Amino acid sequence: MKDLPQFKVYQPNSKEFHICLEAGSIYYCWWSYYPPSQDNRFARKVTRLRDISPKDIPRKQVYDQGTYTVNKGDNKGSAEKKLKNGIKNRSFSFILDGKKLKGRFIIKKTPGGTVIQKFKDKFVEEEDVFGGDLSRTISLMVPDYDPKKVKLNSTKEKKSSPRAEKVKLPEPEITIAEEEDITADKKIGKTSYHFTFYRSEDAPDLCLITNAKHEVLVLEQTRDTWKVLKAAGGVVLKKEKELIKHAAALQEQQ
DSSP codes joined into one string, 186-199: EEETTEEEEEEEEE
Same domain? For 101 and 184 the reply is: no
User: How many Å apart are CA 78 and CA 135, to the nearest integer?
Assistant: 38
Burial classification of residue 59, based on how many CB atoms lie within 10 Å of its CB (0-12 exposed, 13-18 middle, 19 or more buried): exposed
Same domain? For 108 and 71 the reply is: yes
130: in domain: no
Same domain? For 148 and 225 the reply is: yes
pLDDT in tens, 81-134: 999 999 888 789 999 999 999 999 999 988 778 999 999 899 998 775 444 555
Structure-model confidence comparison of residues 211 and 140, the more confident one:
211
What integer pLDDT is reported at residue 46 of this predicted model?
Answer: 94
Report the alpha-carbon angle 151-155-218, nearest 5.
65
Quick check: 76 pLDDT over 70?
yes
Same domain? For 80 and 160 the reply is: no
Q: Are 16 and 32 in contact (CB under 8 A)?
A: yes
Same domain? For 181 and 238 the reply is: yes
Same domain? For 147 and 243 the reply is: yes
Same domain? For 55 and 145 the reply is: no
List residues bridging with 64 in a β-sheet: 9
201: in domain: yes
Rounded to an integer, the average pLDDT of 235-245 is 82
User: How many Å apart are CA 187 and CA 183, to the nearest integer?
Assistant: 10
- Residue 141 phi, psi (nearest 5): -85, -30
User: How many Å apart are CA 123 and CA 45, to the nearest integer?
Assistant: 21
125: in domain: no
What integer pLDDT is reported at residue 163 of this predicted model?
Answer: 39
pTM assigned to the model: 0.55
**Torsion angle, alpha carbons of 139, 142, 144, 147, to 10:** -40
What is the span of the domain harbouring residue 105?
A: 6-118
Q: Are 19 and 6 in contact (CB under 8 A)?
A: no
User: How many Å apart are CA 128 and CA 140, to the nearest integer?
Assistant: 20
User: How many Å apart are CA 17 and CA 162, to the nearest integer?
Assistant: 38
Same domain? For 81 and 157 the reply is: no
Q: Chain-centre distance of CA 243, in angstroms?
A: 19
What integer pLDDT is reported at residue 138 of this predicted model?
Answer: 62
Same domain? For 148 and 197 the reply is: yes
Same domain? For 186 and 233 the reply is: yes
Quick check: 161 pLDDT over 80?
no
Q: How many domains does the chain have?
A: 2
User: How many Å apart are CA 239 and CA 210, to the nearest integer?
Assistant: 12
Same domain? For 180 and 233 the reply is: yes
Quick check: 202 pLDDT over 70?
no
| SS3 assignment, position 237 | helix
- Residue 159 phi, psi (nearest 5): -60, -25
User: How many Å apart are CA 5 and CA 182, to the nearest integer?
Assistant: 44
Q: What is the DSSP letter of 158?
A: -
Same domain? For 169 and 229 the reply is: yes
